Structure 1
Amino acid sequence: MKAIEARDRQRSRSASPPDVHEVRILLLHANGMGGTIRTAFNLAGHLARTHDVEIVSVVRQREAPFFPVPPGVRIRYLDDRLPRRRGLLSRFPSRLVPKDEAAYHWFTLRTDLKLVRYLRSRRGGVLIGTRPGLNLIAARFAPPEIITIGQEHGNLVGHRPSVRSRITRGYGRLDAVVTLTEADLKAYERAFERAGRPRPGVLARIPNAVPRLEGGLSPLTAKTAVTVGRLTHVKGYDLLIRAWAHVAARHPDWTLLIFGSGPRQEKLQAAIDKRGLTDQVLLAGPVQDVGADLVKASMFVLSSRREGGPMVVLEAMSKGLPVVSYACPTGPPELITDGVNGLLVKPEKIHALADAICAVIEDEELRARLAAQGPPTAARYDIDVIGPRWERLLADLGALRRGLSPDRLTDRHSPRSTDLADFPAEL
């Protein structure tokens, strides 16, 4: 590490002025499925209009991307795992990623080496990481010519204590950290203050942009509720299934579709069968064209225990669906105004969730009123609104690197913290 630091000091003296034209977005596995990948592709597509954009996938475990690659965007794979022989280094766990990081099992000594070699080969541009393990490696090994941004796609309190400790110790080397919500932005500010550690140059809140979906609005005629997400504990589908047992007792003609795949599929199916809900609750598998399935439903339900900025809520709103959601500490309360564009329920309350779902089922006027406010809410998060925020952040970081004083930066970014002032929780 001392050799790298010495080399970085030498590179700093001979480095060219910072260039924000080249943007590299670092993903764990670009060919997978999930909200982080979808939003990264969405942002990459927007930036590719005016920047040279490449998505750098640390691993590759399927032949082709699950989501369409935006025009003008390239994908580079560092650790291609499609061949059966992966090499000796793949047998050893990562030495750089915290063991308590949620995706630790994906990383190996081989990925460490590939990733560090890639970072050290860069001579300029912007690097955007998308999860703590990648952000920490970028903070530690990216050369001084690189402008580094760490994105938080979940929330700080959702990480285990050891990971949070690594974040407060290591993120100060980043040029910027971007959160999805105001609550998480404040959590980061408090964490650095309590730890007495250096902060990133900029702390900013920029929500994810909602992808534009094909088709029109839901007619709200189907007796179907829908939810979309990975079948994991954090998504709370076990809670939703228990709540739907109460819904089904009052409205047996309504169906719940759960779209997604994941490690808890067998347990969730067992819970459905145990409660006699086989005909009322269906695990419908992964979905690529989410808009086509949303428009066939009459309600969207979010049962998560934790969230970052749940893009799928905005997607449902964009298709004119009323939303019933747990009020997680971060995410839903900043998108949903209770009784206006959705209903918020105290987290993990089974009967309260069932009652809210039944209220939307039984009150057609309420269902229509909530649905009508969805598209205007989603429009605030269109890529043509969110994209320019990213462009401005990149320009500001380049200006900071050139030594411009904060008062010369474009309006909402400062060297310490910032927010999107025109994204209130209320409509």
Structure 2
Amino acid sequence: MKTPRPEAMKIRYMLLHAYGMGGTIRTVFNQANAMAAAGHEVEIVSVVRRREQVQFPLDERVRLLTLADQRQSRPVDSLGRRAWRRIRGKIVPAGEFAASYFTERVEKAAIDYVSGLDGGILVTTRPALNLISARRAAPGVVRVAQEHMNLAAYPEGVRSAIARYYGRLDTVAVLTGTDRREYQRLLPGTPIVRIPNAVHGTGRPSPRHEDRLVVAAGRLVGQKGFDLLIPAFRRVVDRHPDWRLRIYGTGPKRDRLRDLIKEHRLRDSVTLMGRTDRLDEELAKASFYVLSSRFEGLPMVMIEAMTQALPVVAFDCPTGPRDVITPEVDGLLVPPQNVAALAAAMVRLVEDRELRDRMGAAAAVTARDYSPSVVMPRWERLFAELLGRGSGTPAEPSGTPR
């Protein structure tokens, strides 16, 4: 018998900057759109706003609210400073990656919002917001913390705050089985559920794997390890000078990476492509995808590449790649930050078309476990259970992806 859909729920997603770029923002927009399409009342709350328009598609039924508008048109204070550049708040720990955003004024705006809520579900999406929700959310609000980064990536001060306050939350949702085990050790007795992010584009035709092209994508920051990928690709080009690498994304390391490309004499072989709205199409042109990150949460672009039947070469970094990839089946894992091993794995795929085809087909099968049709019902069941409306079906049934 078919399980009945939960009745309409009020769901609020809280993001630091809903107008920015990044995997967490895109994931939350996808979740909000899916929940609105399912008939729920959905709101996205952007703690700050520094752009005119959102960067990802948003269902017109989803309400978008800003707490602290920081666009350049905002007034300045008596000293000529923008109003948001003031003393840091008290709740967000200094080691939180976005701590600089949480001035006294911004933190107060977030606290005022969560403390003024009346019922429904509040989904917060990074430690700063999770801690504010844990410490200040109004009684009767169901508090769900989403963690989009692995626990070990956080500085000690952030982990200490997590250990002290996350037990007040109704549920902590993490992306991988590794994350779940780590959070369970830190937070015994706190409900920890693993629900991966959903990707779109599953079920598309397989690429031919004929083009001599490798693709990588992500913010141009140290975490993504493109400074390791570029010298690794130098070794590929030494053996196969007709192969090319395209890196999609923007970020503060662009000039440094451009210099690195020149240093390794790769200007004809490696291109920094910038941002694209058509990444699916660009992935479909490639023969395989490479992930060179130093650490991850769950690398969504990697899974999107797998939906395009691309095999993956990845550092076995914490966390995500090993939680998704089965080595020698749908991709190749190499020791973290090992440039020589990364180069050797790329050369192996470059030289073995049959291996690319076999792993690519398996990658497309793996990616189906991350489709919206699989992931979104788990969120609905979780929310319904937390509100006491569930059918008893667990949010994380056995047999789900690792």
Q: Structure 2 length normalisation: TM-score?
A: 0.93
Secondary structure in 1 matching 2:314: strand
Q: Tell me what 1:27 maps to.
A: 15
Deviations 1:181-215 (A, max 9, x none): 0001000111124xxxxx43x21000001123796
Measure, in 2, the Cα distance between the counterparts of 1:420 and 1:277.
48
Q: Shift of the alpha carbon at 1:370?
A: 0.7
Deviation at 1:276, TM superposition (A): 0.7
2:149 equivalent in structure 1: 154
Which residue of the partner structure matches residue 410 of structure 1? 392
Aligned residue number for residue 55 of structure 2:
66
1-structure distance, mates of 2:240, 2:10? 54
Work out the CA distance in 1 between the residues paired with 2:332 and 2:204: 25
Q: Partner letter of residue 421 of structure 1?
A: S
Q: Deviations over 1:59-116 (max 9, x none)?
A: 1111001111134222111111112425545422232211110011122112112111
Alpha-carbon distance in 1 for matches of 2:295, 2:230:
17
Q: Distance in 2 between matches of 1:56 and 1:241?
A: 38
Q: Does the alignment pair 1:188 with 2:183?
A: yes
Matches within 5 A, 1:112-127: 112-127=107-122
Alignment of 1:266-305 (within 5 A): 266-305=255-294
Residues 20 and 394, structure 1, Cα contact 8 Å, conserved in 2: no
Work out whether residues 201 and 308 of structure 2, in 8 Å CA contact, stay in contact via their aligned partners in 1.
no
Query: Matches of 2:157 and 2:323 in 1, distance apart?
Result: 28
- Give the aligned partner of residue 139 of structure 1: 134
User: Gaps spanning 5+ residues in structure 1: where?
Assistant: 1-18, 194-198, 403-407, 414-418
Superposed displacement of residue 267, structure 1: 1.3
Contact 1:127 1:149 in 2 (8 A): yes
Aligned with 1:130 (options 125, 141, 148): 125
Contact map agreement 2:46 2:64 (CA 8 A) in 1: yes
Match of residue 97 from structure 1: 92
What amino acid does structure 2 have at the position aligned with 1:376? V
Code of the residue aligned with 2:33 in structure 1: it is: G
Q: CA deviation at 1:54?
A: 0.8
Q: Which runs of 5+ in 2 are unaligned?
A: 1-6, 78-82
**Number of equivalences:** 389
Describe the SS at the equivalent of 2:187: helix
Instruction: Tell me, in whole angstroms, the C-alpha distance in 2 between the residues paired with 1:89 and 1:228.
Output: 32
Q: Distance in 2 between matches of 1:270 and 1:214?
A: 39
Indicate the RMSD between aligned Cα atoms, in angstroms: 1.8
Structure 2 residue identity aligned to 1:302: L
SS of 2:370's equivalent in the other structure is coil
> C-alpha offsets along residues 350-396 of structure 1, whole Å, 9 cap, x if unaligned?
11111110111100100110111122111111111100100111111
Out of 249-258 and 80-89, give the one that drifted further: 80-89
Does residue 50 (structure 1) correspond to residue 52 (structure 2)? The answer is: no
Aligned-pair identity in percent equals 44
Where 1:307 maps in the other structure, the secondary structure is coil
Residue in 2 aligned with 1:11? none
In the alignment, what sits opposite 1:36? 24
Secondary structure of 1:75's counterpart equals strand
Q: Provide the TM-score with structure 1 as the length reference.
A: 0.87
